[in-house]
Amino acid sequence: MPDVLVRNIDEKTLNNWKKRAKRNNRSLQAELKDVIDSLGRTDPEEVKKEIRATLEKYKAEGRQFSDSVEHIREIRDR
C-alpha cells in the first residue's frame, strides 16, 4: 500500500487530530487514514444529488424551513 507524507502541519491542527484520535481510541495514523478513506470514497456530486432529493422530499411533505441568514449574521457579529 502506498505511503503519504505530509509536512509542515500547524502544531494546533496536529494537536487537535491527536485529541480526536484519542477520543476514538485510535492512533493518529489510524484516525487520519480513516478520515482520508472516508472522504476518498465520497463523490461530491452524489452527495449533492442526495441533498437535493431530500430537500425535494421534505418540500413535497410540506415541511417549512426558516431562513437562517439572520441567525448566522447575529452569531458572526458577536
| pLDDT, average across residues 4-21 | 96
| Rounded-to-10 torsion of CA 23, 26, 32, 37 | -110
Global pTM reads 0.56
Q: State yes or no: pLDDT of 65 exceeds 80.
A: no
> Distance (Å, rounded) from C-alpha 9 to C-alpha 48?
30
DSSP state, 61? T
In the predicted model, what is the mean pLDDT of the chain?
A: 91
35 falls in which pLDDT band (50, 70, 90)? Answer: very high
26 falls in which pLDDT band (50, 70, 90)? Answer: very high
Q: State yes or no: pLDDT of 17 exceeds 90.
A: yes
- pLDDT of 45: 92
Domain layout of the chain by residue ranges:
11-76
